[in-house]
Amino acid sequence: MKPWRNLLWVLPLLSICCHHPATPAKHGAVFIQKEGKQYVIYRNGRPFSVKGASGYTHLQQLRQSGGNTIRTWDTVNLGAILDEAEREHLAVIAGLPMPGSAYLDYYYKDTARVAALYRAFEDIVQRYKKHPALLMWCLGNELGFSAKPGYSAFYNTYDHLLQMIHDTDRDHPVTTTMANFNLAQILMLQWHVPDLDLVSFNTFGKLGLLNNKLNKYTWLWDGPFMVTEWGAYGPWEVNNTVWGAPIENTSTKKAEHYQQLYAQLPLNNPRCLGALVFYWGQKQETTPTWFSLFDENGAMSEAVAVMEQLWTGHQPVAKAPQIRYMLLNNKGAADNIVIRPELPQEAEILMQSAVTDSLSFRWEIWQEDWFSELKQRPLKVLDTLMTSAGKTKLLFKAPLKQGPYRLYVKVTDQQGHFSTTNTPFYVME
């Protein structure tokens, strides 16, 4: 290869490495400033460290637990969320949803769609830019900043939107998120959209790797960052049954993981602006309980008490009941439980405490979804014959139809707490 061609490869990399976004002007309600090696968010003239959760419900409980920030993924009911957050003295990172870069041909090369998105975002930013609860904007969530050729339409759209937000609202920073630390995506952000005020990471089981990677590549990028999602190990990070059903930990085991993972957050990194736990609410994602720190009635899981202790340093007065494990026909989930249709089955839940007089137990069988891309839709609760054999035991008849299922139990106390566990099983004709 000729020397001048070598230079063509090197020059773009040098421009990325040498680029350092200017410190935001101090005219706004919220800005990020570098002080020595430390990055600091200033809000209303005072340093502000993000400490809170991704979610938009149970805001009073978040404040009472010691949190100060929430993050949304879209603009649905944004005005009401901002108003409630203001009443609870919480800051809001408002999500502006965009299709992923994979929708290049369908979306980003369609000038009409892009123009409509631009107008919608401009209206939203103009409408809420002066709201006192607004902390910053998050332009897109895990969009996939591809290093492959041919993505200019996506990057042009993104940069155009970013500049519009900065021009419309000079008082609030703009971030975006990526799944884990991805060096190629960091390079693309530096190259194509260098005016982002900070980068945010969504990371679960790989949280412990984040700080090392951040430090390893400071020569390439040394800007400020946040962790906008962290929490229980994801369904993609745990063991599966032989038919592909992810094995979910008990809520008690997940509470232990929250405590362990919190210690791995890079909060002492001078570039870190804070972290948000996932998920402050109830949502269906693979199962209705996987990431949910609350149930559908607002009861709190054991992980909420863990977060309160971590945020405040004080032990909560009351905690959720603790579950050790569940057995189905004396087998655990890792035993790949296969049963025959309509035959009687026996399940048992073992609690940490033998005292269960004040607890309620709710058992359910849910039909599993075969296809991973559809697992986030609500599943079907089956009306299977069940007979209680005592609070912690259940007798039931196996479903008639062949396929994958999951047996759930939820344990609730009288103080607004709950615990859950479940076991996947397969009905074989």
Q: Is-cis flag, bond preceding 279, omega within 30?
A: yes
Domain final residue, candidates 286, 312, 338: 312
The verdict on residue 22 lying in a domain is no
Residue 103 lies in a domain: yes
Residue that is last in its domain, among 254, 281, 312: 312
Tell whether 40 and 189 lie within a shared domain.
Answer: yes
What value does the mean pLDDT take over residues 413-427?
95
Taking the C-alpha atoms of residue 409 and residue 393, their distance in angstroms, rounded to an integer, is 10
Q: Where are the beta strands (DSSP E) in 215-258?
A: 225-230
Q: How many CB atoms lie within 10 A of CB 266?
A: 20
Q: Is residue 168 part of a domain?
A: yes
Same structural domain, 163 and 279: yes
Same domain, 182 and 266: yes
What whole-number percentage of the chain has pLDDT above 70? 89
Distance, in Å, from the CA atom of 319 to the CA atom of 258, rounded to the nearest integer, reads 15
Please give the average per-residue pLDDT across 332-344, as a whole number: 95
Residues 6+ apart with CB under 8 A from 260: none
Integer Cα distance of 392 and 352 in angstroms: 12
Taking 3-state DSSP, the helix, strand and coil percentages for the chain, each rounded to the nearest 5, stand at: 30, 30, 40
Q: Is residue 12 part of a domain?
A: no
Domain that holds residue 397: 323-427
Give the three-class secondary structure for 408. Answer: strand
Question: Within a 10 A sphere around the Cβ of 321, how many other Cβ atoms?
Answer: 22
78-135 tens-digit pLDDT:
999 999 999 999 999 999 999 999 999 999 999 999 999 999 999 999 999 999 999 9
Question: Structure tokens of 117?
Answer: 């998105």
For the domain that residue 37 is a member of, what is the CATH number?
Answer: 3.20.20.80
Residue 375: per-residue pLDDT = 55
Comparing 267-281, 312-326, 360-374, which segment has the lowest mean pLDDT?
Answer: 360-374
CA–CA gap between residue 160 and residue 266 (Å, rounded) = 32
381 and 413 in a common domain: yes
Domain end: 249, 282, 312, which one? Answer: 312
The answer on 152 and 188 residing in a single domain is yes
Q: What is the pLDDT of residue 318?
A: 81
Domain count for the chain:
2
CATH at 408: 2.60.40.10
Alpha-carbon distance values, 251 to 233, 284, 326, 422 (Å): 12, 15, 12, 10
**What are the tens digits of pLDDT across the range 249-267?**
999 999 999 999 999 999 9
287 neighbors 229 (Cβ within 8 angstroms) = no
Confidence of residue 16 (pLDDT cuts 50, 70, 90): very low
Residue 207 counted as domain residue: yes
Name 295's Cβ contacts closer than 8 Å, sequence gap at least 6: 282, 289, 301, 410, 418, 420
- Rg (alpha carbons) of the chain, rounded to whole number: 24
20 domain-assigned? no
13 in a domain, yes or no? Answer: no
Please say if the pLDDT value at position 333 is more than 90. yes
